[in-house]
Amino acid sequence: MPNPGAHRTIPASEELEIRGIVAVTLVAAFAGIVVGVVGGAFAWALHAWFDRALALIAWLRHESTQLPIAGLCVVVAGAGLAVAFNAPLAGAAFVIEEVARTVSLRRMTVTLTAVGTSVFVFRMIFGNSPQFVVTDIHLTGTAELCLMTALGALLGLGGALYNRTILFFLEAVDRIRGAPPELKAGAIGAVVAMAGWTDLRFFGSGELQVQSILDGNLALGSIALLFAVRWVLGPLSYAGGTPGGLFAPLLLLGASLGALFAGVSNLLVAGSAGQAAFAIVGMAALFAGVVRAPLTGVVLIVEMTESVALLAPLLLASVAAVVVASVSRSPPIYDTLRARMKLSRAPLDDDPGRASR
Protein backbone atom coordinates (compact mmCIF):
# COMPACT_ATOMS: atom_id res chain seq x y z
CA MET A 1 0.00 0.00 0.00
CA PRO A 2 1.27 3.53 -0.66
CA ASN A 3 2.67 5.49 2.22
CA PRO A 4 0.28 8.41 2.85
CA GLY A 5 3.05 10.42 4.53
CA ALA A 6 5.38 10.17 1.56
CA HIS A 7 2.95 11.56 -1.03
CA ARG A 8 0.49 14.33 -0.30
CA THR A 9 -0.84 17.51 -1.80
CA ILE A 10 0.04 20.80 -0.14
CA PRO A 11 -3.07 22.37 1.43
CA ALA A 12 -4.05 25.81 0.16
CA SER A 13 -3.29 27.41 3.54
CA GLU A 14 0.21 25.93 3.61
CA GLU A 15 0.86 26.98 0.01
CA LEU A 16 -0.12 30.56 0.85
CA GLU A 17 2.22 30.49 3.83
CA ILE A 18 5.04 29.13 1.64
CA ARG A 19 4.56 31.90 -0.90
CA GLY A 20 4.65 34.41 1.94
CA ILE A 21 7.90 32.93 3.23
CA VAL A 22 9.52 33.25 -0.19
CA ALA A 23 8.32 36.84 -0.56
CA VAL A 24 9.45 37.88 2.92
CA THR A 25 12.82 36.21 2.35
CA LEU A 26 13.41 38.35 -0.74
CA VAL A 27 12.24 41.51 1.04
CA ALA A 28 14.47 40.77 4.03
CA ALA A 29 17.48 40.23 1.79
CA PHE A 30 17.00 43.60 0.08
CA ALA A 31 16.28 45.32 3.40
CA GLY A 32 19.63 44.28 4.85
CA ILE A 33 18.40 41.86 7.53
CA VAL A 34 21.30 39.68 8.70
CA VAL A 35 20.13 36.35 7.28
CA GLY A 36 21.08 34.21 4.31
CA VAL A 37 19.10 32.44 1.62
CA VAL A 38 16.55 29.91 2.88
CA GLY A 39 16.61 27.02 0.43
CA GLY A 40 13.87 25.03 2.15
CA ALA A 41 11.22 27.69 1.55
CA PHE A 42 11.98 27.78 -2.16
CA ALA A 43 11.90 23.99 -2.22
CA TRP A 44 8.38 23.99 -0.79
CA ALA A 45 7.31 26.73 -3.20
CA LEU A 46 8.70 24.73 -6.12
CA HIS A 47 6.80 21.68 -4.91
CA ALA A 48 3.59 23.71 -4.77
CA TRP A 49 4.03 24.84 -8.37
CA PHE A 50 4.91 21.31 -9.50
CA ASP A 51 1.89 19.98 -7.64
CA ARG A 52 -0.38 22.34 -9.57
CA ALA A 53 1.20 21.31 -12.89
CA LEU A 54 0.85 17.63 -12.07
CA ALA A 55 -2.75 18.15 -10.99
CA LEU A 56 -3.49 19.71 -14.39
CA ILE A 57 -1.82 16.82 -16.20
CA ALA A 58 -3.71 14.31 -14.06
CA TRP A 59 -7.01 16.07 -14.80
CA LEU A 60 -6.31 16.00 -18.53
CA ARG A 61 -5.42 12.30 -18.37
CA HIS A 62 -8.14 11.43 -15.83
CA GLU A 63 -5.51 10.10 -13.44
CA SER A 64 -4.34 10.79 -9.92
CA THR A 65 -0.73 11.78 -9.40
CA GLN A 66 1.12 13.45 -6.58
CA LEU A 67 4.70 14.41 -5.96
CA PRO A 68 6.69 13.11 -2.95
CA ILE A 69 7.08 16.28 -0.91
CA ALA A 70 9.75 15.06 1.51
CA GLY A 71 12.06 13.78 -1.20
CA LEU A 72 11.64 16.89 -3.33
CA CYS A 73 12.33 19.25 -0.45
CA VAL A 74 15.54 17.38 0.36
CA VAL A 75 16.80 17.49 -3.20
CA VAL A 76 15.73 21.05 -4.05
CA ALA A 77 17.21 22.35 -0.79
CA GLY A 78 20.57 21.13 -2.04
CA ALA A 79 19.92 22.72 -5.42
CA GLY A 80 19.00 25.98 -3.68
CA LEU A 81 22.26 26.00 -1.76
CA ALA A 82 24.18 25.20 -4.93
CA VAL A 83 22.63 28.15 -6.77
CA ALA A 84 22.87 30.54 -3.82
CA PHE A 85 26.64 30.10 -3.59
CA ASN A 86 27.38 28.84 -7.12
CA ALA A 87 28.68 25.67 -5.47
CA PRO A 88 27.09 22.53 -6.97
CA LEU A 89 29.25 19.97 -5.17
CA ALA A 90 28.57 21.65 -1.83
CA GLY A 91 24.84 21.47 -2.52
CA ALA A 92 25.06 17.75 -3.18
CA ALA A 93 27.29 17.20 -0.14
CA PHE A 94 24.83 19.09 2.07
CA VAL A 95 21.95 16.83 1.02
CA ILE A 96 23.89 13.66 1.82
CA GLU A 97 25.77 14.84 4.91
CA GLU A 98 23.20 16.99 6.70
CA VAL A 99 19.68 16.79 5.27
CA ALA A 100 19.18 13.14 4.32
CA ARG A 101 22.14 11.63 6.21
CA THR A 102 21.86 8.52 4.08
CA VAL A 103 23.56 7.54 0.85
CA SER A 104 21.84 5.57 -1.87
CA LEU A 105 22.33 5.38 -5.61
CA ARG A 106 18.82 6.68 -6.26
CA ARG A 107 19.15 9.65 -3.90
CA MET A 108 22.58 10.51 -5.25
CA THR A 109 21.37 10.34 -8.85
CA VAL A 110 18.34 12.55 -8.21
CA THR A 111 20.38 15.01 -6.13
CA LEU A 112 23.13 15.38 -8.72
CA THR A 113 20.54 15.80 -11.47
CA ALA A 114 18.72 18.56 -9.58
CA VAL A 115 21.93 20.32 -8.55
CA GLY A 116 23.50 20.07 -11.98
CA THR A 117 20.39 21.33 -13.76
CA SER A 118 19.86 24.25 -11.40
CA VAL A 119 23.47 25.39 -11.56
CA PHE A 120 23.52 25.06 -15.35
CA VAL A 121 20.48 27.33 -15.67
CA PHE A 122 21.90 29.76 -13.09
CA ARG A 123 25.20 30.06 -14.95
CA MET A 124 23.46 30.47 -18.29
CA ILE A 125 21.65 33.51 -16.89
CA PHE A 126 24.17 35.04 -14.49
CA GLY A 127 27.48 33.65 -15.69
CA ASN A 128 30.06 31.64 -13.80
CA SER A 129 32.26 33.59 -11.44
CA PRO A 130 33.45 32.70 -7.92
CA GLN A 131 31.76 34.22 -4.92
CA PHE A 132 35.12 35.32 -3.53
CA VAL A 133 38.13 36.43 -5.54
CA VAL A 134 41.44 35.38 -3.95
CA THR A 135 44.97 35.68 -5.30
CA ASP A 136 48.31 34.29 -4.19
CA ILE A 137 46.87 31.98 -1.52
CA HIS A 138 49.17 29.19 -0.45
CA LEU A 139 50.36 27.25 2.58
CA THR A 140 53.82 28.39 3.63
CA GLY A 141 54.80 25.38 5.73
CA THR A 142 54.20 23.07 8.67
CA ALA A 143 54.11 25.89 11.22
CA GLU A 144 51.27 27.62 9.41
CA LEU A 145 49.43 24.31 9.05
CA CYS A 146 49.64 23.81 12.82
CA LEU A 147 48.37 27.34 13.42
CA MET A 148 45.42 26.74 11.10
CA THR A 149 44.57 23.49 12.87
CA ALA A 150 44.68 25.36 16.18
CA LEU A 151 42.36 27.96 14.64
CA GLY A 152 39.97 25.14 13.75
CA ALA A 153 39.95 23.89 17.35
CA LEU A 154 39.27 27.43 18.60
CA LEU A 155 36.42 27.86 16.15
CA GLY A 156 34.95 24.54 17.26
CA LEU A 157 34.48 26.18 20.64
CA GLY A 158 33.25 29.30 18.85
CA GLY A 159 30.70 27.21 16.97
CA ALA A 160 29.34 25.78 20.21
CA LEU A 161 29.05 29.29 21.66
CA TYR A 162 27.35 30.61 18.53
CA ASN A 163 24.77 27.82 18.67
CA ARG A 164 24.02 28.78 22.25
CA THR A 165 23.73 32.42 21.20
CA ILE A 166 21.14 31.51 18.56
CA LEU A 167 19.13 29.52 21.11
CA PHE A 168 19.41 32.35 23.65
CA PHE A 169 17.81 34.85 21.29
CA LEU A 170 15.17 32.38 20.12
CA GLU A 171 14.14 31.67 23.68
CA ALA A 172 14.29 35.35 24.63
CA VAL A 173 11.92 36.30 21.82
CA ASP A 174 9.62 33.38 22.68
CA ARG A 175 9.38 34.62 26.28
CA ILE A 176 7.87 37.92 25.13
CA ARG A 177 4.21 37.08 25.61
CA GLY A 178 1.31 39.06 24.26
CA ALA A 179 3.22 40.82 21.48
CA PRO A 180 2.24 39.80 17.94
CA PRO A 181 4.98 38.33 15.75
CA GLU A 182 4.83 41.34 13.45
CA LEU A 183 5.65 43.67 16.36
CA LYS A 184 8.60 41.50 17.42
CA ALA A 185 9.95 41.37 13.88
CA GLY A 186 9.48 45.12 13.51
CA ALA A 187 11.38 45.84 16.72
CA ILE A 188 14.25 43.60 15.62
CA GLY A 189 14.23 45.27 12.21
CA ALA A 190 14.51 48.65 13.91
CA VAL A 191 17.56 47.46 15.85
CA VAL A 192 19.21 46.21 12.65
CA ALA A 193 18.35 49.49 10.91
CA MET A 194 19.96 51.54 13.67
CA ALA A 195 23.08 49.39 13.53
CA GLY A 196 23.23 49.74 9.75
CA TRP A 197 22.76 53.51 10.04
CA THR A 198 25.97 53.71 12.02
CA ASP A 199 27.89 51.51 9.57
CA LEU A 200 26.57 49.96 6.35
CA ARG A 201 28.89 46.98 6.82
CA PHE A 202 26.58 45.76 9.57
CA PHE A 203 23.86 45.23 6.94
CA GLY A 204 23.25 42.25 4.66
CA SER A 205 24.21 38.61 4.53
CA GLY A 206 27.96 39.29 4.53
CA GLU A 207 29.50 38.39 1.16
CA LEU A 208 30.81 41.91 0.45
CA GLN A 209 32.32 42.16 3.90
CA VAL A 210 34.08 38.82 3.47
CA GLN A 211 35.59 40.01 0.21
CA SER A 212 36.88 43.13 1.95
CA ILE A 213 38.56 40.96 4.57
CA LEU A 214 40.12 38.74 1.91
CA ASP A 215 41.39 41.82 0.06
CA GLY A 216 42.96 43.16 3.26
CA ASN A 217 40.91 46.36 3.15
CA LEU A 218 39.81 46.24 6.79
CA ALA A 219 42.00 46.99 9.80
CA LEU A 220 41.98 44.59 12.71
CA GLY A 221 39.98 47.01 14.84
CA SER A 222 37.29 47.28 12.18
CA ILE A 223 37.17 43.51 11.79
CA ALA A 224 36.82 43.06 15.55
CA LEU A 225 33.95 45.56 15.70
CA LEU A 226 32.28 43.98 12.67
CA PHE A 227 32.57 40.55 14.26
CA ALA A 228 31.14 41.68 17.61
CA VAL A 229 28.13 43.41 16.07
CA ARG A 230 27.37 40.65 13.59
CA TRP A 231 27.67 37.99 16.29
CA VAL A 232 24.61 39.61 17.90
CA LEU A 233 22.69 40.80 14.83
CA GLY A 234 22.75 37.42 13.09
CA PRO A 235 21.03 35.39 15.82
CA LEU A 236 18.78 38.34 16.65
CA SER A 237 17.56 38.57 13.04
CA TYR A 238 17.01 34.80 12.94
CA ALA A 239 15.09 34.87 16.22
CA GLY A 240 12.66 37.44 14.84
CA GLY A 241 11.08 34.82 12.62
CA THR A 242 12.31 36.43 9.40
CA PRO A 243 12.73 33.64 6.83
CA GLY A 244 16.42 33.30 6.11
CA GLY A 245 19.42 31.04 6.38
CA LEU A 246 22.45 30.86 8.62
CA PHE A 247 25.16 30.05 6.09
CA ALA A 248 26.14 33.44 4.66
CA PRO A 249 26.25 35.32 8.00
CA LEU A 250 28.21 32.38 9.42
CA LEU A 251 30.87 32.71 6.75
CA LEU A 252 31.48 36.35 7.66
CA LEU A 253 31.97 35.46 11.31
CA GLY A 254 34.41 32.68 10.39
CA ALA A 255 36.38 34.97 8.07
CA SER A 256 36.52 37.64 10.77
CA LEU A 257 37.78 35.22 13.41
CA GLY A 258 40.35 33.81 11.00
CA ALA A 259 41.63 37.27 10.13
CA LEU A 260 41.79 38.26 13.81
CA PHE A 261 43.67 35.06 14.62
CA ALA A 262 46.18 35.85 11.86
CA GLY A 263 46.56 39.38 13.14
CA VAL A 264 47.36 38.23 16.67
CA SER A 265 49.81 35.63 15.31
CA ASN A 266 51.59 38.31 13.30
CA LEU A 267 51.86 40.53 16.37
CA LEU A 268 53.59 37.69 18.21
CA VAL A 269 55.71 36.49 15.27
CA ALA A 270 55.91 38.88 12.33
CA GLY A 271 54.86 37.35 9.02
CA SER A 272 53.71 34.08 10.55
CA ALA A 273 50.19 34.14 9.09
CA GLY A 274 48.47 35.48 5.95
CA GLN A 275 45.17 37.19 6.71
CA ALA A 276 43.33 35.96 3.61
CA ALA A 277 44.44 32.35 4.04
CA PHE A 278 43.37 32.25 7.69
CA ALA A 279 40.07 33.94 6.84
CA ILE A 280 39.35 31.19 4.29
CA VAL A 281 40.17 28.45 6.79
CA GLY A 282 38.11 30.25 9.43
CA MET A 283 35.00 30.16 7.24
CA ALA A 284 35.16 26.39 6.82
CA ALA A 285 36.07 25.73 10.46
CA LEU A 286 33.26 27.78 11.99
CA PHE A 287 30.80 26.23 9.54
CA ALA A 288 31.93 22.79 10.67
CA GLY A 289 31.68 23.75 14.33
CA VAL A 290 28.14 25.12 14.01
CA VAL A 291 26.54 22.80 11.45
CA ARG A 292 28.73 19.74 12.09
CA ALA A 293 29.00 19.07 8.35
CA PRO A 294 32.76 19.35 7.69
CA LEU A 295 32.75 17.94 4.17
CA THR A 296 30.07 20.39 3.05
CA GLY A 297 31.98 23.28 4.60
CA VAL A 298 35.27 22.38 2.95
CA VAL A 299 33.73 21.81 -0.48
CA LEU A 300 31.68 25.01 -0.16
CA ILE A 301 34.73 27.17 0.55
CA VAL A 302 36.81 25.52 -2.16
CA GLU A 303 34.09 26.18 -4.72
CA MET A 304 33.42 29.73 -3.54
CA THR A 305 37.11 30.65 -3.79
CA GLU A 306 37.96 28.39 -6.74
CA SER A 307 41.17 27.42 -4.96
CA VAL A 308 42.43 24.08 -3.66
CA ALA A 309 45.72 25.49 -2.38
CA LEU A 310 44.46 25.33 1.22
CA LEU A 311 42.70 21.97 0.98
CA ALA A 312 44.88 20.25 3.61
CA PRO A 313 44.44 22.95 6.31
CA LEU A 314 40.75 23.25 5.46
CA LEU A 315 40.28 19.54 6.16
CA LEU A 316 42.37 19.50 9.36
CA ALA A 317 40.85 22.67 10.75
CA SER A 318 37.31 21.44 10.04
CA VAL A 319 38.01 18.11 11.75
CA ALA A 320 39.47 19.94 14.77
CA ALA A 321 36.38 22.17 14.91
CA VAL A 322 34.00 19.19 14.82
CA VAL A 323 35.94 17.35 17.55
CA VAL A 324 36.03 20.34 19.90
CA ALA A 325 32.38 21.25 19.31
CA SER A 326 31.32 17.64 19.90
CA VAL A 327 33.39 17.33 23.06
CA SER A 328 31.73 20.50 24.37
CA ARG A 329 28.40 18.62 24.10
CA SER A 330 26.87 21.23 21.86
CA PRO A 331 24.50 19.58 19.37
CA PRO A 332 24.57 20.65 15.71
CA ILE A 333 22.45 23.73 15.16
CA TYR A 334 20.01 22.10 12.75
CA ASP A 335 19.41 19.19 15.14
CA THR A 336 18.50 21.71 17.81
CA LEU A 337 16.24 23.68 15.49
CA ARG A 338 14.48 20.48 14.36
CA ALA A 339 13.82 19.57 18.00
CA ARG A 340 12.37 23.04 18.65
CA MET A 341 10.09 22.73 15.64
CA LYS A 342 8.80 19.36 16.80
CA LEU A 343 8.07 20.74 20.26
CA SER A 344 6.27 23.78 18.85
CA ARG A 345 4.12 21.58 16.60
CA ALA A 346 3.33 18.95 19.24
CA PRO A 347 0.29 20.80 20.69
CA LEU A 348 -1.18 21.16 17.19
CA ASP A 349 -0.59 17.51 16.38
CA ASP A 350 -2.34 16.50 19.60
CA ASP A 351 -5.35 18.75 18.89
CA PRO A 352 -8.17 16.47 17.64
CA GLY A 353 -9.97 19.40 16.07
CA ARG A 354 -7.02 20.58 13.98
CA ALA A 355 -7.86 18.34 11.03
CA SER A 356 -11.33 19.85 10.74
CA ARG A 357 -10.18 23.47 10.84
Q: CA angle, 162 as apex, 149 and 78 as ends, to 5°?
A: 80
Looking at residue 96, the DSSP 8-state letter turns out to be I
> What percent of the chain is predicted at pLDDT more than 70?
75
* Other Cβ atoms closer than 10 A to 133: 11
List CB contacts of 160: < 8 A, sequence separation 6 or more: 289, 324, 325, 328, 330
**CA dihedral (167, 25, 289, 223) positive or negative:** negative
Give Rg (Cα) of the chain.
21
pLDDT digits (tens, 9 = 90+) for 198-243: 888 888 888 999 999 999 999 999 999 999 999 999 999 888 776 6
SS3 content of the chain, % helix, strand, coil (to 5): 75, 0, 25
Q: Note the pTM of the prediction, 2 decimals.
A: 0.80
**Complete domains list, the chain, with CATH:** 12-129 (no CATH), 142-341 (1.10.3080.10)
Determine the Cα–Cα distance for residues 166 and 162; give it in Å rounded to an integer.
Answer: 6
What would the pLDDT profile of 35-63 be if each residue is shown by its tens digit? 555 544 444 444 454 555 555 555 555 55
Cα atoms in the Cβ-side hemisphere of radius 13 Å centred on 329: 0
Kindly list the distances between the CA atom of residue 223 and the CA atoms of 55, 152, 156, 276, 280, in Å, as whole numbers in the listed order.
52, 19, 20, 13, 15
